[in-house]
Amino acid sequence: MTLVAGSWLAQSGTVQTQGSTPAFMLGRLALVPDLSGALWLPDERTLVVADLHLEKGSAYAARGVFLPPYDSAATLAALAAAILRHAPARVIALGDSFHDIHAESRIAPGNLATLRQLQQGRDWLWITGNHDREIGPAMGGETVAGIEISGVALRHEPDRDEAGFEIAGHLHPAAKVRMRGRALRRRCFALSPRRCIMPAMGAYAGGLNLRDAAFRPLFLEGLSAHLLGDGRLFRIDERLLLAD
């Protein structure tokens, strides 16, 4: 059993453990952050992923910036690995799954086939985001603006006026720490007792530093950062986080 000690989590007594992986509670909903950047909801057998930004590479290429055309394949491979690990009954993509509304016209047939295959035998929910307000039927799944699970709202863009509990994406949180003269910047989950902002999963999705003003109104009571390391997640005290 791993003991997760620390300020608000320990005090508020919301720590549970799930096998060897710590789980966190948002109200009644248990969350397990995954090293891939996905979020596993064990009680719901649901895998949540955020900001896949599929076809971002080809969107740049259309403007004459020829980024390597492997981002969609890489993102789908990460997604497939997470699905294989958890065998979810349902996958929820938290918006900005596609970099733009024309992604459908550019996605390689092989990648589309991979995506459709991942959808086999499970529910698949696309929540729309600011990059993908429309998602064509060719992409499979069901498209919604948001959904509520066990009293927790799942939406693309965090709502600072949310009085209840919320899981959102959109901001691509990343955190920077420095130890022994070396700075590291990694994607991360930003967690508080009421809110979870998920890291972007897309291979070409950049990160916004947790110190950015955009996070402040969302975490007035503080936050804990869970950084995606190479071998596991690392929970870093808010006071150690640096601005860029």
Partner 1 sequence: MPSPLPPAFSAWFASRGWSARPHQLALLEEARAGRSTLLVAPTGAGKTLAGFLPSLVELTERGSEREGLHTLYISPLKALAVDIARNLDMPIAEMGLPIKVETRTGDTSAAKRTRQMERPPDILLTTPEQLALLVSHRDAEPFFASLRRIVLDELHALVTSKRGDLLSLDLARLRTLAPQVSAVGLSATVREPADLQRFLGGTQTPAGLVTVTGGAKPRIGILQTASRLPLAGHTTGHAMGEIYKAIGRHKLTLVFVNTRMQAEFAFQALWSINDDNLPIALHHGSLDVAQRRKVEAAMAAGKLKAVVCTATLDLGIDWGDVDLVVNIGAPKGASRLMQRIGRSNHRMDEPSQALLVPSNRFELLECKAALDAVAEAAQDTAEPRIGALDVLAQHVLGVACSDGFQAGALYEEVRTASPYAGLTRADFDAVVNFVATGGYALRSYERFAKLRQDKAGLWRASHARVIQQYRMNVGTIVESTMLKVRLGRARAAKPGQPSRITSGGRMLGEIEEYFAETMTPGDTFVFAGEVLRFEGISGNEAICSRAPPGTDPKIPSYNGGKFPLSTFLAARVRAMLANPREWAALPEEVSSWLHAQRLKSRLPKPGELLVETFPRGGKFYLVAYPFEGRLAHQTLGMLLTRRLERGRMRPLGFVCNDYGIAVWGLGDMTAAIAGGRLSLAELFAQDMLGDDLEAWLAESALMKRTFRSCAVIAGLIERRFPGQEKSGRQVTMSTDLVYDVLRRHEPEHVLLKAARADAATGLLDIQRLGQMLTRISGHIVHQPLDHVSPLSVSVMLEIGREAVYGEAADEILAEAEAMLIEEAMA
* 152-155 and 195-197 beta bridge pairing: unpaired
Q: Which stretch binds partner 1 (CB under 8 A): 19-27, 32-40, 59-67, 91-99?
A: 59-67
Contact of 48 with 38, CB cutoff 8 Å: yes
| ∠ Cα 149 127 197 (to 5°) | 65
CB proximity list for 10: less than 8 A, separation 6 or greater: 4
Q: Which helix (H) or strand (E) holds 71?
A: helix 71-86
230 lies in the binding site for partner 1 (CB under 8 A): yes
12 lies in the binding site for partner 1 (CB under 8 A): no
Site for partner 1 (CB under 8 A): which residue of 38, 168, 207, 218? 207
Q: Which stretch binds partner 1 (CB under 8 A): 16-24, 87-95, 112-120, 179-187?
A: 179-187
Closest CA to 193 of 157, 158, 152, 233: 152
Residues in contact with partner 1, total (CB under 8 A)?
Answer: 49
70 lies in the binding site for partner 1 (CB under 8 A): yes
Minimum distance from residue 81 beta carbon to partner 1 (Å): 14
Q: Which stretch binds partner 1 (CB under 8 A): 28-36, 128-136, 162-170, 230-238?
A: 230-238
Distance from C-alpha of 146 to C-alpha of 150, rounded to nearest angstrom: 14
Residues at the contact surface with partner 1, assessed by CB under 8 A:
5-7, 10, 58, 61-62, 64-71, 73-74, 108, 174, 177-186, 203-207, 211, 222, 227, 229-232, 234-237, 239-240, 243-244
